[in-house]
Amino acid sequence: MGTKWIIEGEIDPKWQHNTRGNIGEVFPEVLTSIGYHLGVVTAEQAWRTAYADIGIHKKGDFDREEPVIIGLYAGYAYLNLSYLRMMGVRAPGSSAEAIDVAFFGEGNPPPYVPRKGDKSIGSSLKILRSVLKALGADDLPDVAKDSYRAVEEAAANKPSLDASDEELFAYLHDFPTGFRRVFGNHMISTALAAIVSGILVDAAEAAGEPGLVTHLVGASGDVHSARYSQALYEISKTVRDSPELMAAFDHGILGLLDRIADMDSAATFREQFDGFIAEHGHRGPNDWEFSARTWDSDPELALAALDAMRKTDQDLSPSTRLGDDDEKRQAAIATIRPHVGFMDKTNFDKAIKAVPYWSQAREGTRDRAIRYMLPYKQVFRELVRRAAEKGGDPDPVHVGLLHPYDELPGYVANPSSMADVVAERAALFHQYREVEPPFFLSSQDEVPTLEEMEQDGGEIVEPAKVGDVLTGDAGASGVARGRARVVLDPADGSMLEPGEVLVAPLTDPAWTPLFLPAAAVVVNVGALMSHAVIVARELGIPAAIAIEGATQKIRTGDLIEVDGTAGTVTILED
């Protein structure tokens, strides 16, 4: 019997196909116990309710309470491809393939095979009502506004960090109550954004110009995932204008804030940076994970991005890069609309107008759901700190491997009583962290043990040669040339030089500030609704996505050309 992770899900044979696609952006790391029991289990409940509200979910879809839509296999989170395809199967005029394009563009997913019970007239009628309402959007949808209120309530109810252990645990354990609400809002906006954008995907396909969907969608304006990149850019100009601050950054970001604490010339910078952390500190790498670092807990993550931005005197303002965005959109509409069926033209026109609002809503509800988590993460870190004072492990990730209800309270009260358990699970966590889980899983028999993943070692990929064209999917429109910079961790972002092409395995919000100095972005995985695409569009940066093995085939220093509309990367010089 091989080694298994401390929590192991079971693949539902009714909905058998599962993928790391899309969810790899939000859960790139091994899932902890606290992240699973407080976050994933609650998210699954909210997801099912949201889909029932829209009409996607119908009675009898699930035979068990345990998570199915978000699975935990081989230590990593998976999305249930089979069930999420029901969005397209049950939505009038959509298809399973349209959902694959929107969310799971990478890899070679198992084809959808129709089954009895997949389609539902009742679901289709309810979805139709939801979609028609969504197509009429002319403002930020109500689900986004409701999430703002929930976040304010969570922050207002947070106890002082000087409160007793019992008070802190009471607050922490109440996390699911409000999280169901904000995550449900996120799932509603995500589903409707996918269906609305799917209308544009189908239209572009019908016209024989699938890449032009990047022009149809275009930049939405005021998308949360791009805001902090723009805010950091403004701060970087303050750094660039100060020789003292430039010198301080030259000495490294480690301890930078302490070194400039009393520097008069850094007063404006400190005020700007403090404001940035207050507004955006809830984000960071792996930011759906309860135990992960945030810019609030580890501001040097944001300083690394500033370090990359400050090195250029070019105008990196998104407004400059997006100068011809509307012109491209209108040209794409003129090309595609004649190929849209007469009965579909009205919905096509409405989708063009509505898709910016739903893109904003999707990213806004996502941002607010993570913002909702911040005070709970702060309380959890305070409990970890208290346990560390008594001799416990100071790493929140390691402590997060304990069950939040059954084990964590006893550990905080007496860390030595569970020191061996924490150490054993921490060692196992780091073993799982070093392996690559399968991209697709379709049966319980396919879930590998730790030993099997260690032995697999991954496929050896040969570097691309001059003249090779790597083909993936269209992400964000435009063509750019530059030297490649392969970055595997956003914490290493200071290596990125302005004008280089960022080549990454995938991107979550911690990567966003690295987009602005980049000439273009290339990612191994991604789809139309993935993080890298949405942010690149908002910042006016060409992006090619789902370039399989890009971080291995492309080497730092290669001169490459990225065509974001065609979804290709050409090696010009190595």
Flag whether 569 is in a domain.
Answer: yes
| Residue 521 pLDDT exceeds 60 | yes
pLDDT of 229:
79
Flag whether 68 is in a domain.
Answer: yes
pLDDT of 461:
79
360-376: average pLDDT? 90
Query: Do residues 403 and 481 share a domain?
Result: no
Q: Residue-wise over 46-64: b if at least 16 C-beta within 10 A, else e? A: bbbbbbebbbbbbeebbee
pLDDT of 222:
58
Flag whether 458 is in a domain.
Answer: no
For residues 214 and 362, give the distance between their C-alpha atoms in angstroms, rounded to a whole number: 17
Query: Do residues 56 and 155 share a domain?
Result: yes
Considering the chain, what is the average pLDDT of its residues?
88
Domain with 557 in it: 469-573
Q: Strands 479-486 and 501-504, how do they pair?
A: parallel
Single-letter residue type at 212: L
According to DSSP, the residues that pair with 41 across neighbouring strands are none
Q: Among residues 496, 441, 475, 445, which one has the least CA distance to residue 562? A: 475
For residues 462 and 466, give the distance between their C-alpha atoms in angstroms, rounded to a whole number: 13
pLDDT of 310:
84
**In contact, 528 and 102? CB cutoff 8 Å:** yes
| Residue 330 pLDDT exceeds 80 | yes
DSSP H helices in 55-104:
81-84, 86-90, 96-103
Query: Do residues 137 and 48 share a domain?
Result: yes
pLDDT of 154:
92
Query: Do residues 142 and 46 share a domain?
Result: yes
Helix, strand counts (H, E) of the chain: 25, 12
pLDDT of 41:
96
479-497: average pLDDT? 85
Listing DSSP states for 119-154 in one string gives --HHHHHHHHHHHHHHHT--SS-HHHHHHHHHHHHH
Query: Do residues 497 and 422 share a domain?
Result: no
Rg (CA), the chain: 23
pLDDT of 312:
73
| Residue 164 pLDDT exceeds 90 | yes
SS (H, E, C) 552-571: HHCCCCCEEEEECCCCEEEE
**In contact, 562 and 543? CB cutoff 8 Å:** yes
For the whole prediction, is pTM greater than 0.85? Answer: yes
Tell me which residue has tokens 């403004």. 234
Tell me which residue has tokens 């100068």. 323
Name residues whose C-beta falls within 8 Å of residue 57's C-beta, 6 or more positions apart in sequence.
Answer: 48, 51, 86, 123
Flag whether 247 is in a domain.
Answer: no
**In contact, 78 and 27? CB cutoff 8 Å:** no
pLDDT of 315:
67
45-50: average pLDDT? 95
292-319: average pLDDT? 81
pLDDT of 318:
61
15-24: average pLDDT? 89
SS (H, E, C) 245-301: HHHHHHCCCCCHHHHCCCCHHHHHHHHHHHHHHHHHCCCCCCCCCCCCCCCCCCCHH
Query: Do residues 412 and 477 share a domain?
Result: no
| Residue 106 pLDDT exceeds 60 | no
| Residue 343 pLDDT exceeds 80 | no
420 phi and psi angles, rounded to 5 deg: -65, -40
**In contact, 150 and 182? CB cutoff 8 Å:** yes
Q: Residue-wise over 313-348: b if at least 16 C-beta within 10 A, else e? A: eeebebeebbeebeebbeebbebbeeebeeeeeebb
pLDDT of 558:
96
Flag whether 95 is in a domain.
Answer: yes
pLDDT of 192:
86
**In contact, 40 and 7? CB cutoff 8 Å:** no
Per-residue pLDDT tens for 54-75? Answer: 999 999 999 999 999 999 999 9
Query: Do residues 370 and 508 share a domain?
Result: no
What's the CA angle centered on 272, arms 267 and 277, to 5 degrees?
A: 125
Mark which of 411, 433, 455 sits at the end of a domain. 433
CATH code at 509?
3.50.30.10
| Pick from 219-233, 372-386, 445-459, 540-554: least confident | 219-233
State percent of the chain over pLDDT 90.
55
Name residues whose C-beta falls within 8 Å of residue 151's C-beta, 6 or more positions apart in sequence.
Answer: 182, 368, 371, 372
**In contact, 282 and 509? CB cutoff 8 Å:** no
Query: Do residues 419 and 479 share a domain?
Result: no
Query: Do residues 103 and 157 share a domain?
Result: yes
Mark which of 406, 433, 460 sits at the end of a domain. 433
Per-residue pLDDT tens for 277-297? Answer: 999 999 888 889 999 999 999
404-430: average pLDDT? 97
Mark which of 386, 418, 433 sits at the end of a domain. 433
Per-residue pLDDT tens for 205-264? Answer: 889 988 787 778 765 555 666 678 788 888 999 999 999 999 999 999 999 999 999 999
Flag whether 546 is in a domain.
Answer: yes
Query: Do residues 134 and 27 share a domain?
Result: yes
Flag whether 246 is in a domain.
Answer: no
Tell me which residue has tokens 């290709």. 568
pLDDT of 329:
82
| Residue 531 pLDDT exceeds 90 | no
Structure tokens belonging to residue 550? 């890009």
Query: Do residues 211 and 126 share a domain?
Result: yes
Flag whether 285 is in a domain.
Answer: no
Name residues whose C-beta falls within 8 Å of residue 175's C-beta, 6 or more positions apart in sequence.
Answer: 38, 42, 373, 376
| Residue 326 pLDDT exceeds 90 | no
Handedness of CA 528, 529, 532, 536 (dihedral sign): positive
pLDDT of 378:
97
The tally of domains found in the chain comes to: 2
225 or 536, which is more confident?
536
| Pick from 411-420, 525-534, 554-563: least confident | 525-534
Query: Do residues 92 and 153 share a domain?
Result: yes
pLDDT of 219:
59
Sheet holding 18-19, edge to edge: 70-73, 76-80, 18-19, 440-441
532 or 28, which is more confident?
28
Q: Among residues 512, 518, 517, 519, which one has the least CA distance to residue 479? A: 519
